[in-house]
Structure 1
Amino acid sequence: MSTPGGSDPSGPAGPRNPGTSQHGRWMVAHGRRRWIAALLALVLVAAAVVAVVSLTRAGNVTPPAAQGTATQSETTIPTPSESPSETPPPAPPPIAELPPGAMNILVIGSDIRGTPAKDAAAHTAATGEVQDQRADTLMVVHVPADRRNLYLISINRDTWVDVPGLGGAKINAGLQYGGIDMQTAAVQQLLGITIDHTLMLDFGGFRILVDGLGGIDVNVPVPFQSTIETEHVFPAGMNHLDGQAALEFSRERYAFADGDFQRVRDQQIMLRAILARLTAGGALNDVTAVRSLVEFASCCLTVDKGFDPIQAAILAYSLRNLDAGAIRSMTLPTAGSGFIAGQSVLFPDYGGIAAVGAALREGRIGELARE
């Protein structure tokens, strides 16, 4: 059994049959539609920028994925003189407003290789069989009721907690032993909050989505050379990254003195860069672009059953006034490191975590997430 990001065990041997939930059965029947929402909601609000460049004032819609790595300067929008004279298509129907209220979305980055993460998670949910995947990334995205800010709360994957249905383990083991349901339950219990929706993306899907955007610009705070795969070199300052380089940037920990802590900060930087790209220039005000974005994401993401394409578009549209400069992040506090059953773990700072949970419930997370 492989271990996430290194040779450390991912968790103790746990129950081999956590059971089959109604949610799990739904995932098997409808797995292909589940990625749609979460992407729209938060990580891939970004694709809208590219969509708007190629989506059109002349009614010619080109899916963002078809652009490959084309830059904006390479993309042409037909002018009236270049387009055949014909009756323009009717305006798309408006997108409804999202009802008021805050929302918590859990983002999971799976470390699975080979099998798509959504297939493995569906299999675990339906059969209770353990799969060789763990949560390499765990991040709660808090969307306030006013939709003008976003807050990213990262959880170190080695945090030792009581995972519901499994017992004491690293928090990232929930995905391995109980799929998305168990992983979500572990985060909810730790923070004392309700997770409204869950999004999962694996390594391959991440590469595809970044490449579909034509790459992403990331401001690298700590220069390093990756120890993974292509061993990409990341100089300090602004870097334009394709999907493979973006993945290596987001996964690296061995190049840093503080290991996983810098990796978590880099993952936050990556998500902020994607969100900034997607919300630039009022892209989410374009109803056609928002709907095209749903189709663009259909290859790669797994989300819970609560989102369908209509709900996904509604949430994305609700973020149209988001100020990318108002995206704040923090990492859940820990109380030092140690070893349990031969595993290197991080101990939770339960007092600090309780404060974060209360701030999320009471709409005060801005007091703590300041980065």
Structure 2
Amino acid sequence: MVSFAIHHTDRPDAPRRRHSRWFVALAVFVIALAAIVVTAVGGGAIYAGSVASTFDSHVSHLQKAFPADATRPAVSQTGAVNILLLGSDSRGAPTGIGAEGVTDQRADTMMLVHIDADRRNVYIMSIMRDLWVPIPGNGSAKINAALAWGGTPLVVQTVEQLLGARIDHVAIVDFGGLKAMTNALGGVDVDSPVAFTTVKSPHYTFVKGMNHLDGDKALAFARERYAFATADYQRVADQQALMRGFGAKLLSLSVLTDPGKLTSFASAAGSSVKVDQGFTLQAMIGLAASMKVSGMSSIHTFTIPTAGTGTSADGQSIVNVDPAAMARLRTALANDALAGFSG
């Protein structure tokens, strides 16, 4: 990957920009359910079902999450599962998040969670928000504009076209949910790749190495980009570190054996997300029961390969696709063979 500082220049008709808003944690919630089934002593499935039921009683469902089936890749024959995680900047009405038509929402954070066919590994792939890609019906643009121009169905269609892989489930999380989920767990310990101080008040300082973060600090950690010469590249790395911190906390005995913490987290997570209508309680429990993860060594994070930054024909600073690396990624996804891409 080539990393450069990014100066943003949006075209006039593009949706308004704000700072990145949030970080996604639904993936580790699903992983946690699997861990409960595997590790809980006696009545594990009942325990997992109770936590999942709490989540399900709070979660909202997207009325239409996917584009017309004729526009989509074929269903994977490998048995792997792909979950698209999105973050809206939440400037519009909450009921508009994930709407099908034009909205003023942007997907400033985007991740694909790939659960392999044998359910032993989970790959969390970050997609750079300024990646310059074809958006169906809109020409080429930054990928984070798709949510504003066509709602969740257009985001799914854009990502499926980019990766050549079908999305099985979708979740949208708001940034306020990150704070609630972090606090429900009593904070998370995050191994920061670099030391930095946030540019905006209250100017939180993070050391290189382990940091204990409450909800406010976790949100600041996930949002910061101005402190870095490499801007969004470093922010994506930090978000992946935060994801690993969530995973480690959820898979720890201090949480797995604490029904109160798990239930509080499930409630906070459910209140903060919208999922497609097919991602039901039964689907979540079924996915969790099939998992065979062995702790954090089974959870892998990486960033979609890029060719660094550039400038579009209309003057925007963008992140370029690396065509050769993208072709290899598409093949790896199709063959359920992502091990070579993850860190």
The answer on 1:43 being equivalent to 2:22 is no
The answer on 1:357 being equivalent to 2:318 is no
- Aligned 8 A contact 1:225 1:234 in 2: yes
2:128 alignment partner in structure 1: 156
- Aligned 8 A contact 1:39 1:301 in 2: no
Query: Alpha carbon RMSD of aligned pairs, Å?
Result: 3.8
The answer on 1:129 being equivalent to 2:102 is yes
Could you tell me how far apart the structure 2 residues matched to 1:166 and 1:348 are? 18
Could you tell me how far apart the structure 2 residues matched to 1:312 and 1:229 are? 39
Could you tell me how far apart the structure 1 residues matched to 2:92 and 2:186 are? 24
2:88 equivalent among 84, 89, 110? 110
Map residues 1-371 of structure 1 onto 2, 5 A cutoff. Answer: 8-9=8-9, 13=13, 42-45=27-30, 101-113=79-91, 115-116=93-94, 119-122=95-98, 124-125=99-100, 128-131=101-104, 133-281=105-253, 294-319=266-291, 321-340=293-312, 341-369=314-342, 371=343
State the one-letter code of the partner of 1:101: G
- Aligned 8 A contact 2:311 2:317 in 1: yes
- Aligned 8 A contact 2:81 2:168 in 1: yes
Q: Are residues 330 and 142 of structure 1, via their aligned partners in 2, closer, same or farther at CA, if it must alter by over 3 Å?
A: same
Shift of 1:60: 11
1:143-180 Cα distance to aligned partner (Å, 9 max, x none): 01222211111111111110113221100101111111
Q: Are residues 306 and 261 of structure 1, via their aligned partners in 2, closer, same or farther at CA, if it must alter by over 3 Å?
A: same
State the one-letter code of the partner of 1:150: V
Could you tell me how far apart the structure 2 residues matched to 1:288 and 1:111 are? 30
Q: Are residues 208 and 229 of structure 1, via their aligned partners in 2, closer, same or farther at CA, if it must alter by over 3 Å?
A: farther
**Partner SS for 1:227:** coil
Unmatched tracts of structure 1, length 5 or more: 1-5, 16-37, 67-99
1:201-234 Cα distance to aligned partner (Å, 9 max, x none): 1111221111112111101120000124422111
Q: Are residues 321 and 329 of structure 1, via their aligned partners in 2, closer, same or farther at CA, if it must alter by over 3 Å?
A: closer
**Partner SS for 1:329:** strand
- Aligned 8 A contact 1:225 1:255 in 2: yes
State the one-letter code of the partner of 1:107: L
**Partner SS for 2:252:** helix
State the one-letter code of the partner of 1:319: M
**Partner SS for 2:83:** strand
Residue range with higher mean Cα deviation, 106-115 or 151-160: 106-115
Q: TM-score, normalised by structure 1?
A: 0.70
Shift of 1:295: 4.5
Shift of 1:292: 8.0
Could you tell me how far apart the structure 2 residues matched to 1:44 and 1:11 are? 37
Q: Are residues 293 and 322 of structure 1, via their aligned partners in 2, closer, same or farther at CA, if it must alter by over 3 Å?
A: farther
- Aligned 8 A contact 1:14 1:177 in 2: no
Q: Are residues 323 and 204 of structure 1, via their aligned partners in 2, closer, same or farther at CA, if it must alter by over 3 Å?
A: same
Q: Are residues 301 and 351 of structure 1, via their aligned partners in 2, closer, same or farther at CA, if it must alter by over 3 Å?
A: same
- Aligned 8 A contact 2:181 2:265 in 1: no
State the one-letter code of the partner of 2:97: A
- Aligned 8 A contact 1:149 1:323 in 2: no
Could you tell me how far apart the structure 2 residues matched to 1:308 and 1:11 are? 39
How many residues align? The count is 301
State the one-letter code of the partner of 1:187: V
Could you tell me how far apart the structure 1 residues matched to 2:258 and 2:152 are? 32
Could you tell me how far apart the structure 1 residues matched to 2:261 and 2:188 are? 19
- Aligned 8 A contact 1:159 1:345 in 2: yes
- Aligned 8 A contact 1:290 1:317 in 2: no
Could you tell me how far apart the structure 2 residues matched to 1:227 and 1:259 are? 12
Shift of 1:108: 1.0
Unmatched tracts of structure 2, length 5 or more: 1-5, 16-23, 55-77
Could you tell me how far apart the structure 2 residues matched to 1:115 and 1:104 are? 28
- Aligned 8 A contact 1:164 1:185 in 2: yes
State the one-letter code of the partner of 1:357: R
- Aligned 8 A contact 1:290 1:313 in 2: no
Q: Are residues 14 and 264 of structure 1, via their aligned partners in 2, closer, same or farther at CA, if it must alter by over 3 Å?
A: closer
- Aligned 8 A contact 1:282 1:321 in 2: no
